[in-house]
Every structure is written in structure tokens, then in C-alpha cells.
Amino acid sequence: MSKKTRKKSSKGSAKTPAKTPAKSPAKTPAKKSAHKTIPAKAARSGSKAPVKTPAAKAGKVVAKKSGTAAKGALTKESHKPASKSLKSKPSTAPKPDLTPIPEAAAKPDSKPGLVSGRVEGAKAPSFQLPRDGGDSVSLADYAGRKLVLFFYPRADTPGCTREAIDFTRLKDAFAESGTAVLGISADTVKAQESFRDKHQLSIPLISDEKHEMLEAYGAWGEKSMYGRTFLGILRTTVLIGKDGKIAKIWRNVRVDGHADEVLATAQGL
């Protein structure tokens, strides 16, 4: 064999093994796996819609059946008669009467037989109560005469003392006008007598411990002092005419000058 022939054969043998590894066997399985993962329909249409598997079809069938059953149940319930609505009866309670009523009608007397003395023009409530000295006094004792009743909270207190002294000072002037004067409180007879003697009072003082006369003339009610509310005597004066009817009522009396004002009213009656 010649040298040229040996050189060619050596070159050829060297090239043959070099070309073999250039052809990578990994390319072949990659192409095959790509063809296997892409479905034929999806490859042709290019759509990305999910493949309908037998399990998915079975799920849809079950869903359709359950939906049909639910519709059937609703249809059965819809055929049931609707419950009758309860009609509420209209209220038969009478509407309140908002017409204002006189105080005498709103607050009836606590004792039967007494006509309210809380409004002017009404008949004066009758009474018969003990007075200082041990005697008793009644409305009938002053029939045909004018009569002043001054209600005071408590004997021998500053305001009540000034008021009683003022009426005592004007006693003769009241008598000249045909008017008698009586003082009334809830004090005991003994307390009234001490009050009379201490201040030399000359007008009768009536003891109304049960508040019967006080309530009948509207001189007993709610009071407040130092933030405290309580029931007590409301300083009040009532002038009764000869006809036995109430001519004038003074509420929440202020002591200073009050007796003179009452006298002027009695003189003009």
C-alpha cells in the first residue's frame, strides 16, 4: 500500500467518528414528545380550549341531573298554596281629647261633697275645723259676709309672721268693708295659740292637720327648695264674696304689701 492510500484511509477513519457525535440523539426524542403532548385538533385549529375528558363529561351529566332535581323541587313548592296574610285590625282606641279643661275639673276634691275652690267664680268649698282657743270655725258662720282666707306654710316662720301681722293690722279696715279674715295652716292648735300669743295676733287661726281644706282650695301641692321636691302648703289667699262664690284667688303670694292689696279688692267688691 502506498503512502497516499494510507493517508486517505487515516483521514477517512478520523472523520467518521467525529461526525457521529454531532448528530445528537436528544433531538429525536424531543421532537417525538412534542408531537405527543399537542393534540391533533388543537394543533390544527390553534385554539387553547381544554380537552373534554370522559370525567368532565360525566361531571356535566351529574350537574344537569342535580339541576333538574332542584328545578323539580322548586316547581313542587311553587304549587303549594300561598299562606294567607294576617290582616291587622285597626285600633279602636279613642283619640285623646286635647281640649283644655279647668283646673277644678282636672283635680277633683279629695273629700266628697266639697265643690272645688281652685277657680274664680266657683262655689267656695265648705269646711269646719278647730281654731286657736279650742272653738271650731265653719264657712256657714260667715254666710252673707265677705271672707278672706289666707293660707300660710308654717306658724312663726319669718314670712308667715309678717303676713299674719299685716292682716291683724288691717283687721278693723276689713271689718268696716264687711269682710272677715281667717288664717289657715297645717299646724296644731297648740302651735297656733303659741303663734298668736307671741305676736299678739287678733285674727282666728285655723288648724288643718289633715290638709282637707288646704286641698279643697288648691293651697296644697308640690314645692321645691334647695333642689329638693316635696308636698307642702302653697302660700295662697282666697277672697269669698257675699254670695258664697270665690271672687279672687292669689297664688304664690309675696308677703310684702299683699294684705293691703287684698283689702283694696275686698273694698271694691
pLDDT of the residue at 199:
97
Rounded Cα gap, residues 49 and 22, in angstroms: 39
Rounded Cα gap, residues 12 and 18, in angstroms: 10
For the ranges 61-70, 141-150, 211-220, 258-267, which has the lowest average pLDDT? 61-70
Instruction: Indicate whether 257 pLDDT > 70.
Output: yes
* Cell, residue 152: 300660710
Rounded Cα gap, residues 139 and 125, in angstroms: 8
pLDDT of the residue at 129:
97
Rounded Cα gap, residues 239 and 150, in angstroms: 9
pLDDT of the residue at 227:
84
What is the model's pTM?
A: 0.58
Task: Kindly indicate the confidence band of residue 117, based on its pLDDT and cuts at 50, 70 and 90.
Answer: low
Q: What is the enclosing helix (H) or strand (E) of 43?
A: helix 40-45
Q: What mean pLDDT is reported for the chain?
A: 74
* Residues present in the chain in total: 269
pLDDT of the residue at 223:
85
pLDDT in tens, 220-246: 998 888 888 889 999 999 999 999 999
Half-sphere exposure of 134 (CA within 13 A, CB side): 0
The mean per-residue pLDDT over the stretch 38-66 comes to: 48
Catalytic residue flag (residue 62): no
Instruction: Indicate whether 41 pLDDT > 50.
Output: no
pLDDT in tens, 61-105: 444 444 544 444 444 444 455 444 445 454 444 444 444 434 433
Percent pLDDT > 70 in the chain is 57
* Cα–Cα distance list, 187 to 83, 130, 136, 218 (Å): 73, 11, 15, 17
Residue of 160, 182, 191, 203 marked active site = 160
Which of 210 and 37 is assigned the larger pLDDT? 210
pLDDT in tens, 169-194: 999 999 999 999 999 999 999 999 99
pLDDT of the residue at 149:
98
pLDDT of the residue at 137:
96
The mean per-residue pLDDT over the stretch 145-152 comes to: 97
pLDDT of the residue at 176:
96
